[in-house]
Structure formats: C-alpha cells, structure tokens
Amino acid sequence: MEFDTIAAISTALNEGGIGIIRISGINAILVANKIYRNKDGKQNLCSFKSHTIHYGFIVNNEEIIDEVMISIMKAPHSFTCEDVVEINCHGGILILKRILDIVLSNGARLAEPGEFTKRAFLNGRIDLSKAEAVMDLISSKSNAALKNSVKHLEGKLYELIKEIRNETIYEIAFIESALDDPEHISLDGYPEKLRDKISILSTKVKKLYDSSTRGKFIKEGINTVILGKPNVGKSSLLNALSGYDRAIVTDIAGTTRDIIEEHIVLNNISLNLIDTAGIRLTDDTVENIGVERAKKYALDADLVLFLIDSSIPLSKEDDDIIELIKDKKVIVLLNKTDLDQVVKIEDVSNRFSNECVILEISAKNYDGLNNLEDTISNMFVSGNLSSDDELYITNLRQSQELKSVLDSFNLVIESLDNGMPEDFYSIDLMNAYTSLGRIIGEDIDDDLVTEIFTKFCMGK
C-alpha cells in the first residue's frame, strides 16, 4: 500500500530542549535531503543506512535555520512501515513551526490527526486494538491506566481475541463441511459438543466484557463529588486530598459558590474530584446557582463523598441531602473528629434505607484519609491493579463489540435449546466471528477507521 508523504510536529507545542518533526512516506528521505546539510555543507541523507542518526543543519535557500540531529528509518522497518525521517531540533514553538513549513514546502503535506498510527495499522504494523492503545498510553492519568495500556500495546488483547476467533471459525468450518458432505462428516452428537465449546468461549468473552466497567474508571477516572451543607469541611477535604490549597477555606458559610475541579490519583486510581457549593436554602442569587449545580453534579457522579460536621447535630439540610443521594454510590464522612463529636455513626446509618459506608475523618488534621483511599479503591477496582494477569477493556467501541459477541453466542445456545437446524448455528457464529474481527480491525470499514484515528493527537 502506497501513500503520499506526510509530516507533522510530533512533540508537544511548548518551549523545551528538543522538538521533533516526523516525516513519513515514499519521498520522506528525499524531502528531508532537500533541506539538510551536514557540517561540510553536503546533502547525503539518501546514502545513509537505516536506523542511523546524523548531525547537521536545516537550511532554507542556503540560510541555516537550526542545528539538528536527523534519524533515518527505512521501510519496512519503521513505525509506519514506510520511510520515516525524524528531525530533532531545538524545542521552541517558532523554530518547530518554521521547520515544518519548510518541510511542507518541499514536497510533504501536513498529516491528519493520528495519520502516522493509521498508516501503521493499514500497513499491517499493528492491529486496531494496539493502535487504540497508543492513544490510551498517551492520555494515561494513573499508573494503573498506564500499565493496562502497555498490556494492550504488547498485544495481550489481540492474542486473546485471535484465539477466540480461531476457535469460532473452526466450528463454522466444521458445520459447513458437514452440511456439504454429510456422507463423510457426521453431526451426530455435535450439538452437545458445540454447547460445551460456546460455554467456554462465552466465559472468556464475558470476563473481558465485565472488565469494561472497571476499565472505564481506570482510564477516565472516578467522577467524585464532595457534597454537604455549608461549612462542613468540603474545601478542606479537597485541599487535603489534592495536597495543596486548591480551594479557599474560611469559617464563613457559603465561601464556595461555584464548582472547583481537581484531578488526583489515590492508590493508583484516578479521581476527578469536584468540590461544590454548600447545599442550603438561600436568598443569594449567585450562591443559589452554585447549590443547583452541586445537586446536578451529585446526580451525575460515580461517587458522592457526603460530608457531615460531626461536632454539631444533624439538621434538615443533612436530611435533604440524604434524600437527594439515596440511590447513589455514597461514602459518608463524619468530619471534624478533632472536635467533640455530637453525631455518631449509628445516627447517620439510621437515616439511609440502604447500607452505606460511613467513615470518621478530620480533613483539617488528615486523620482517616488513608482509610478513605482504601475504601474508594475497594469500591471501584477491588483486587490487585498491578497483576500481570488482568486485562481491562477501557474502550467503548471494543466493549460494544464484545457485547455483540455475547449476544451471538447466546443465540447459538438458544438455537441448540430449540433444536434448530445446524445452519442457524453457523449464521450466529459468523456474526460473533465478525464482531471479534472488528475489535482487532480485521473486519472493519474505511469510515470507521477514519473516525477512530481522527480522535488521535496531531503528530501521532
């Protein structure tokens, strides 16, 4: 497969020591050679061996633009399986853009987002699950997300899907062969054997599919809202968990009037933490807007941290909040344990119709925060996140395809239960085979490929 030559800045557009412009395509080395001079003023990139790096200068009409190191990787031994040149220049934004403009004016075109990785996929360098893992790796927010992305990049998902797919196509081929040549291939007793096989395959697929809920939290983080009436210590908790004074803390009720967001990592788990305005009835227009926003965020949250000031009696405001979050996943925090406690655990548990977790903390003195971290981990991602055996699905597209596979396998079982003809099994098995193929990119149309890679960052 042959494409035109593309180029883009592959490092972040910030000031730094080094920046990289990547060129890929059949004329990548020729384009780079037009603007390269070594220390003797010669153009000689075309004669260099693959996987070598060379010192020199980028020039434009004989004007020296920058001192650079140029890496050469010749097809097919490169990320895209094409000739690739990477210009390692100084990392200023202006110099990066200037060199890219010169590259583009000498025969390359600007790469689309994700086009380098797209070419790696289309040229057979990586499968689609690995390609999607590249972007997950770049956007990882925690060590758990990073580790899982590496497993996908290593091909762990590809190998498992390929194995299930091979076993599925074997059954399809057996059924079709038996129907075409019944004299030599018997289907006697086959439905029982197929049932056992589908049961095994369904278990493997279901384990992957069930991991997607946990995978979502590992990849995207747990949307966590800190909720409570005014002056219970919500902002103090946000500051304690984030490790610095992210929110203003005063003794004046209603200090926080808008949403304050902070991303933190606890026990390898990513939390999208949201501090909200204290919930109470108020005539203050601005504060009231904040209260309504707090309620909305609470209803949309994965987790609510409900703070109660344990040094004063429970109030109607506390009861109103309990009514609001009664159907949510909640951790109740009895804060201000550094003061004389008026509210006890049983006082709160009696107000919840469902069993809930109640912890005693002091956000001011950091007491009980380790227990809170462990509790959150156990609620959402219980188990050993560092385990080399666990593989989590973090991609919605892959999760949907796995659901389709399970549905198809269930239809096979249903046909077996109803004594349907063998060609019914073959149809649903083929649907499962196709869905499995879409996960790794072996049965996928061009429009979906384009849609997937447009979500990638520029230069990758």
Sequence spans of domains, the chain? 6-126, 134-216+395-441, 221-381
* Same fold: 6-126 with 134-216+395-441: no
**b/e per residue, 58-88, with b = 16+ CB within 10 A?**
bbeeeeebbebebbbbbbeebbbbbbbbbbb
Rounded-to-integer distance, Cα 40 and Cα 55, Å: 11
160 pLDDT more than 80? yes
Q: Which fold has domain 134-216+395-441?
A: Four Helix Bundle (Hemerythrin (Met), subunit A) (1.20.120)
Q: Give the residue, 281 or 172, on which the prediction is more confident.
A: 172
232 in Cβ contact with 358 (< 8 Å): no
Kindly report which listed range (54-68, 83-97, 273-287, 444-458) carries the lowest average pLDDT score.
Answer: 273-287
Average confidence (pLDDT) over 2-16: 89
Average confidence (pLDDT) over 14-39: 94
Radius of gyration for the chain, computed over Cα atoms and rounded to the nearest angstrom: 29
Q: Give the residue, 392 or 25, on which the prediction is more confident.
A: 25
Task: Label residue 296 by pLDDT band (50, 70, 90).
Answer: confident
Sheet holding 260-266, edge to edge: 260-266, 269-275, 222-227, 303-309, 330-335, 357-360
Q: Report helix, strand or coil for 460.
A: coil
Average confidence (pLDDT) over 348-375: 88
Q: Mean pLDDT of all residues in the chain?
A: 87
Question: Tokens 């020729």 belong to which residue?
Answer: 30
Q: What is the pTM of this model?
A: 0.76
For residue 247, what pLDDT is reported?
A: 45
For residue 253, what pLDDT is reported?
A: 43
Beta bridge partners of 70: 54, 87
Average confidence (pLDDT) over 109-114: 94
Phi, psi of 221, rounded to the nearest 5 degrees: 95, 165
Average confidence (pLDDT) over 178-189: 86
392 in Cβ contact with 214 (< 8 Å): yes
Task: Label residue 258 by pLDDT band (50, 70, 90).
Answer: low
346 burial (CB, 10 Å; 0-12 / 13-18 / 19+) is: exposed
Kindly report which listed range (55-69, 138-152, 175-189, 335-349) carries the lowest average pLDDT score.
Answer: 138-152
**Among candidates 448, 402, 378, 438, which has minimal Cα distance to 212?**
402
240 pLDDT more than 90? no
Q: Give the residue, 341 or 244, on which the prediction is more confident.
A: 341
Q: Give the residue, 431 or 266, on which the prediction is more confident.
A: 431
For residue 256, what pLDDT is reported?
A: 47
4 pLDDT more than 50? yes
For residue 263, what pLDDT is reported?
A: 85
Q: Which CA distances in Å does 185 have to 175, 180, 326, 429?
A: 9, 9, 61, 19
> What number of CA atoms fall less than 13 Å from residue 222's CA on the CB side?
26
Domain 221-381 has CATH 3.40.50.300: yes
Most confident of 35-49, 63-77, 263-277, 433-447: 63-77
Q: Which fold has domain 6-126?
A: Gyrase A; domain 2 (3.30.1360)
For residue 417, what pLDDT is reported?
A: 92
